[in-house]
Structure 1
Amino acid sequence: MALEIVGISVLNDNYIWLVHDTVSKETLVVDPAVADAVIHECSRRGWSITQIWNTHWHPDHTGGNADLRAATGCTIVGPAAESDKIPSLDLCVGEGDHLEFGGTRATVIEVPAHTLGHIAFHFPEDAIAFVGDTLFVMGCGRLFEGTADQMFANMRRLAALPEETKIYCAHEYTQLNGRYALTVEPENTTLIARMKKVDAARARGEATVPTTIYLERATNPMMRAESVAEFAKRRRERDNFSAIL
């Protein structure tokens, strides 16, 4: 694979993703919450930033846009439906659009619900997807602007991707999502085993992202919901769920 992917942990629980093409030497930044950490990491690695891709307008995904462009002259790409909320966009994209990066190509998937214009970026040849705040490890994004029907459709659509697809989401919410998942399916042996690994990883200070479509199909209660009504119930329960970690 020509793509090298590095996560930067910032703020309380955000991940900024650096995608480096080892052949073309281009570097893409996905959802830069801040600029300084990105500039530092790329400088340390000798990587040159050429593009920024935003999944949605929230400031913890776009906050570094302007400073990164000022520092590097990079091109900023984001959802056409949210161009009024992301004034720094150079290129607006939507469903089915293709984006070239280095020697590969990504397809834009519209996944409205967390925000109405939310998009994801899927690299089919590399079996990678950057999903922002739509799909999380064993969870999904809150319905800030959209509906349960929309997010349920998103779960179905993402579940249809090849099972080996690596999913890069933008937050470390895994332990709490997993605690909730165990209340839904307490006898799911795959989920139980996964949570043991998650707890051990977090105790070591390690990230639990990326995940895979295979693992989410097996353990994610939002993706495993069989109807909109069941999904909506689970999303409401998760909104009000808390547990001692």
Structure 2
Amino acid sequence: MKVHIIPCLKDNYSYIIHDEANDYACVVDPSEANPIIDFIKKKNIQLKYILNTHHHYDHVGGNELIKKEFDAKVIGFNNDKERIPFIDITLEDQEIWSSDNFTAKVFHIPGHTSGHICFHFYKDNFLFTGDTLFSLGCGRIFEGTSEQMFNSLKIIKSFPEETLIYCGHEYTLKNAEFCLQNDPSNSELIKKISKINTLVKKGEPTIPSSLKEEITCNIFLKAKDVKMFSKLRDLKDNF
């Protein structure tokens, strides 16, 4: 499997998971339709599925047109089916979805929204975290609680360290500044920031990062308890 990063809107990323063996594809969180449609047509591959991590418009805005264009099936969380537009297939927490050569396990990770999920393509070491975990950051808490978000991040931390994290936005540089302010002696973080700056100067995505890097460098994943996490989240909201 190969993951293609598709920039959308101002700072969103959508992801096309391409099964090169048969030229089938899924798209994760299509913010808008045209960049996805253009890529699929240019590559002459068959888009079969649309995977949504949560209902926010900048993650589902392309569902309707992409579905119409390619007759793709929309997949989302069963408990959020009323808010995922044009949904066809609903999945439960910790359910394994397998179709064609695609296999992913779904995990309910509330906090940013009540119905947020991630897709763990465990055979490929890909994890699509939407707006729960960013590189060097985490999502704002809109519908959930600090405890829910803290526990959701604990779920993500339990995956293998070599897992590649594909998140919903290009927020890494700003997140890095916050992490450095609160963890200034972290040598691994300083090394990562150097790599981030090089990528940004080239106009390249800073995504994916490995879970090992995030555990080592992401201040939110270093929080020991809900109280510490909540304080960090409040500080970041006003950063």
Question: TM-score per shorter chain, which class?
Answer: over 0.9
Query: What secondary structure sits across from 1:224 in the alignment?
Result: coil
- From 213, 216, 219, the equivalent of 1:218 is 216
Could you say which residue in structure 1 is the equivalent of 2:142? 144
2:222 partner letter: R
Could you say which residue in structure 1 is the equivalent of 2:40? 42
CA contact (8 A) 1:166 1:210 kept: yes
Shift of the alpha carbon at 1:57?
0.1
Could you say which residue in structure 2 is the equivalent of 1:169? 167
Q: Distance in 2 between matches of 1:222 and 1:125?
A: 27
- Trace 1:31-70 onto structure 2 (pairs within 5 A): 31-70=29-68
CA contact (8 A) 1:77 1:91 kept: yes
Q: 1:7-60: per-residue Cα shift (whole Å, max 9, x none)? A: 111111000100011113211000001111101011111111100000000000
Shift of the alpha carbon at 1:177?
0.4
CA contact (8 A) 1:165 1:213 kept: yes
Shift of the alpha carbon at 1:94?
1.9
Could you say which residue in structure 2 is the equivalent of 1:10? 8
Query: What secondary structure sits across from 2:97 in the alignment?
Result: strand
Q: Distance in 2 between matches of 1:115 and 1:23?
A: 35
- Trace 1:126-205 onto structure 2 (pairs within 5 A): 126-205=124-203
CA contact (8 A) 2:60 2:85 kept: no
The count of residues paired between Structure 1 and Structure 2 equals 239
Q: Provide runs of 4+ in structure 1 moved above 4 Å.
A: none
Q: Percent identity?
A: 37
Query: What secondary structure sits across from 1:198 in the alignment?
Result: helix
CA contact (8 A) 2:64 2:85 kept: no
**Structure 2 residues without counterparts, runs of 5 or longer:** none
2:201 partner letter: A
Shift of the alpha carbon at 1:102?
3.1
2:78 partner letter: A
Is 2:82 the partner of 1:84? yes
Q: Distance in 2 between matches of 1:103 and 1:48?
A: 13
1:189 partner letter: S
**Structure 1 residues without counterparts, runs of 5 or longer:** none
Query: What secondary structure sits across from 2:140 in the alignment?
Result: coil
- TM-score in terms of structure 1 length: 0.96
Is 2:100 the partner of 1:96? no
- TM-score in terms of structure 2 length: 0.98
RMSD between superposed Cα atoms in Å: 0.9
Shift of the alpha carbon at 1:104?
3.8
